[in-house]
Amino acid sequence: MMTVRELCDVVRSTAFAIHVYHGSGHLEKVYENGLAHRLRKLGLDVQQQQPIPVLDQDGTVLGDYYADLVVEGVVLVELKAVKTLLQVHVAQVLGYLKSTRMEHGLLMNFGAPKFQIRKYAYSQHASEMTPDY
C-alpha cells in the first residue's frame, strides 16, 4: 500500500504527463477524464464527481461538495483549466478540505503553458491547513 506522499507523487507525475501530451486549451472536464482514466489504468481507485458531505462545526451535514476526483479515498483533487491559479482557487481547496474533513488535497491547473500543482494538508487536531509543496 502506498503512503499518501507516494500516492500524490503518482497523481502529480500522471497529471504532468497529460499536460505534456495534451498541452493547455482543453476544458477542465477533458483533463479530469484523462487523469481519471490514466490513474485507473495504474490500478488506483478513482471517483469522479464524488459527493462528499460538507459538515458544520458540530458535524451537521450542510450539503454535498462534488469533488473533481477522489483518489484511493484519501486525496481530493481539484482541477482547473485557467490562465493561472489564483488565491480564490486555493481558498476553494482549503475550504473543501476543512468542510469535508479530508486531510489531503491537490490543486492542479492545466490551462497555463506551465503545469501548476499544489498540495495541501489539513489537520483536524490542529485546525490548520498548510501547503505541502
Domains of the chain by residue range: 4-131
C-alpha cell at 69: 476526483
Which three-class secondary structure state does DSSP give residue 70?
A: strand
pLDDT value of residue 20: 97
* Pair 97, 122: CB distance under 8 Å: yes
Helices (H), 42-112: 87-100
Q: What is the CATH number of domain 4-131?
A: 3.40.1350
Which three-class secondary structure state does DSSP give residue 68?
A: strand
pLDDT value of residue 128: 47
pLDDT value of residue 62: 94
pLDDT value of residue 24: 94
Burial class (CB in 10 A: 0-12, 13-18, 19+), 112: middle
One digit per residue, pLDDT tens: the chain, 133 residues? 899 999 999 999 999 999 999 999 999 999 999 999 999 999 999 999 988 888 898 989 999 989 999 999 999 999 999 999 999 999 999 988 988 889 999 999 999 999 999 999 988 765 444 555 5
Neighbour tally for 79: CB within 10 Å = 21
